Amino acid sequence: MKNRKKKNEADDKPERKPYRVRLPGFISDEDIGLGDVIKRATYAIGVKPCGGCRRRATVLNRWMVFSGKR
């Protein structure tokens, strides 16, 4: 029988830190994730969020963060 990875083996990996992009002057002192930026932009043009949108925002927030401070 083939060895298959169990789902909890993937959970044992250390979580990577998100990429940080500094945008002084554009972002306030608090960090904001890429998913939150996209969520706010789509909401502003009238797109209502769904379950898939929330999952996407969570994944993108873990991937990239914008900050205005060092």
Total residues belonging to the chain: 70
pLDDT at position 4 is 60
pLDDT at position 2 is 60
Q: What are the extents of the domains in the chain?
A: 39-70
Higher pLDDT, 4 or 68: 68
pLDDT at position 66 is 84
Read off the pLDDT of residues 9-62 as tens digits, 9 standing for 90 and up. 555 667 778 878 877 666 667 888 889 989 989 999 999 888 898 999 999 999
pLDDT at position 11 is 56
pLDDT at position 25 is 65
Kind of pairing between the strands at 64-67 and 19-22: parallel
Q: Rg of the Cα trace of the chain? A: 16
CB 13 within 8 A of CB 58: no
